[in-house]
């Protein structure tokens, strides 16, 4: 039978071993989930930043007369390995001298390490398959879906629309082009006035967007709330809401619009120069436009006026390009966001990515 003294000496040793084992178990249980939470957020944020920078970089390339270039990220493989260990020891010394107490020494040791080995795959997007995707008109269902969810119709029409055909309630048809022509400046001004009317209708929840049965033609109209909304527009803008092609009258209920959409490449080129094109509009024409249509929908050149948090920033050809906004505004970042939504429709499924050439980084 053990003596009381021996029991008291054995107890600390057992507690030491138990403590070391418990600590090792805790380390083992926390390492994996903690790594997942941290790395998931970091990888997601990095991928988002890279995607934004690629789009902005292509806009900068185009503005400098250089062709765009596309890379699509493939699977990200990140392996983690964790090691941990625990050890403990105890010793005691008893000096058989009067008045000298027995001395105990206890030691606890913990060790651990973590190793991360990420591998990134990038596939250059090129060839007939990708060219066919970016050279065909944007899917009308993309426009209708975004507009139906409340995405700015000003941004959508000015970014994606190449030409609109307006049919009035009386059957009159007018063709308006999304682009300034010095020989016919009123055509573009009327295009922008129609866009402002559509934005007003969207704000009143009176705008109706959809496609034909085949999903190939985008159609825009309005419901019974259109009359009151358009009257408010006329009261607010006055003569600036009048469409000259309609005899200097504002847009009236009962209209319908068929919108011809740009290709993705056409959209990219248009947005690369949108700020510059807005700046060359004759001042008289600009002054005659509704306030919401006088500025570009996207500017990419860095200026001191753009003080909102940047959606993207790159250096190219010795200049800095950013996607930001003036204080309190979301205009340019909204257009850039829409451009990213459209580009997402051109990306290939992972199983469609070319196997060669693939760029791998470890």
* Rounded average pLDDT over 341-362: 61
Same domain for 149 and 120: no
User: Is a pLDDT exceeding 50 seen at residue 255?
Assistant: yes
Same domain for 84 and 192: no
User: Is a pLDDT exceeding 60 seen at residue 253?
Assistant: yes
Q: Side-chain half-sphere of 155: how many Cα atoms within 13 Å? A: 22
In a domain, 1, yes or no: no
Domains in the chain, number: 2
User: Is a pLDDT exceeding 50 seen at residue 191?
Assistant: yes
In a domain, 12, yes or no: no
The rounded percent of the chain whose pLDDT value lies above 70 is 69
E strands, the chain, are: 71-93, 103-124, 161-167, 173-177, 207-211, 218-222, 256-261, 312-316, 319-323, 359-361
Only one residue has tokens 């010394």, namely 93
In a domain, 42, yes or no: no
- In this prediction, residue 319 carries a pLDDT of 96
* Rounded average pLDDT over 113-130: 69
In a domain, 25, yes or no: no
Q: Tell me how long the chain is.
A: 362
What pLDDT, in 10s, does the model give residues 126-178?
777 677 778 899 999 999 999 999 999 999 999 999 999 999 999 999 999 99
Comparing 202 with 82, which gets the higher pLDDT?
202
User: Is a pLDDT exceeding 90 seen at residue 227?
Assistant: yes
- In this prediction, residue 3 carries a pLDDT of 46
d(CA 287, CA 294): 8
- In this prediction, residue 115 carries a pLDDT of 74
What pLDDT, in 10s, does the model give residues 338-348?
999 988 876 65
In a domain, 30, yes or no: no
Both tokens assigned to 334: 């909204």
Both tokens assigned to 285: 């024409």
Q: At what angle do helices 331-344 and 153-160 cross, to 10 degrees?
A: 60
- In this prediction, residue 80 carries a pLDDT of 64
Same domain for 271 and 130: yes
* Rounded average pLDDT over 39-67: 86
Same domain for 361 and 212: no
Same domain for 269 and 132: yes
Comparing 268 with 350, which gets the higher pLDDT?
268
User: Is a pLDDT exceeding 80 seen at residue 78?
Assistant: no
Angle at 297 between CA 188 and CA 263, to 5 degrees: 75
- In this prediction, residue 69 carries a pLDDT of 87
- In this prediction, residue 305 carries a pLDDT of 96
Same domain for 73 and 164: no
Only one residue has tokens 């008291």, namely 8
Full residue range of the structural domain in which residue 151 is found = 139-262
Same domain for 82 and 122: yes
User: Is a pLDDT exceeding 50 seen at residue 6?
Assistant: no
Q: At what angle do helices 4-63 and 331-344 cross, to 10 degrees?
A: 100
* Rounded average pLDDT over 244-262: 96
In a domain, 88, yes or no: yes
Q: CA distances (Å), 184 to each of 62, 117, 137, 261, in order?
A: 27, 61, 26, 21
Same domain for 147 and 163: yes
* Rounded average pLDDT over 58-68: 95
User: Is a pLDDT exceeding 60 seen at residue 289?
Assistant: yes
Same domain for 207 and 115: no
Same domain for 171 and 151: yes
Same domain for 197 and 120: no
Same domain for 235 and 189: yes
- In this prediction, residue 188 carries a pLDDT of 98
- In this prediction, residue 7 carries a pLDDT of 44
């Amino acid at each position: 039978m053990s003596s009381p003294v021996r029991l008291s000496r054995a107890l600390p040793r057992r507690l030491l071993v138990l403590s070391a084992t418990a600590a090792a178990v805790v380390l083992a249980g926390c390492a994996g989930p903690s790594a997942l939470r941290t790395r998931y957020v970091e990888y997601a944020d990095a991928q988002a930043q890279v995607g934004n920078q690629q789009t902005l970089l292509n806009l900068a390339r185009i503005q400098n007369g250089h062709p765009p270039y596309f890379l699509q990220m493939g699977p990200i493989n990140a392996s983690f390995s964790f090691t941990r260990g625990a050890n403990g020891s105890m010793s005691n010394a008893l000096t058989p001298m009067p008045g000298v107490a027995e001395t105990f020494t206890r030691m606890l040791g913990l060790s651990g390490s973590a190793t991360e080995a990420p591998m990134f795959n990038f596939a250059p997007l090129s060839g007939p398959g990708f060219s066919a995707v970016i050279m065909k008109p944007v899917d009308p269902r993309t426009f209708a879906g975004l507009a139906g969810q409340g995405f700015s119709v000003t941004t959508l029409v000015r970014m994606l629309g190449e030409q609109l055909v307006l049919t009035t309630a009386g059957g009159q048809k007018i063709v308006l082009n999304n682009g300034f022509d010095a020989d016919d400046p009123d055509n573009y001004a009327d295009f922008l006035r129609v866009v402002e009317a559509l934005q007003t209708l969207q704000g009143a929840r009176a705008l109706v967007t959809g496609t034909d049965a085949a999903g190939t033609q985008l159609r825009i109209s309005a419901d019974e709330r259109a009359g009151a909304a358009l009257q408010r527009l006329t009261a607010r803008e006055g003569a600036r809401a009048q469409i000259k092609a309609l005899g200097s009258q504002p847009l009236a209920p009962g209209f319908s619009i068929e919108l011809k959409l740009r290709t993705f490449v056409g959209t990219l080129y248009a947005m690369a120069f949108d700020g510059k094109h807005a700046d060359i509009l004759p001042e008289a024409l600009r002054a005659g436009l509704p306030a919401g249509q006088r500025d570009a929908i996207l500017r990419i050149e860095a200026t001191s006026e753009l003080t909102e948090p940047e959606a993207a920033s790159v250096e190219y050809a010795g200049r800095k390009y950013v996607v930001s906004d003036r204080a309190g505004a979301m205009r340019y970042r909204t257009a850039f966001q829409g451009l990213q939504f459209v580009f997402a429709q051109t990306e290939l499924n992972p199983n469609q990515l070319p196997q060669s050439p693939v760029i791998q980084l470890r």
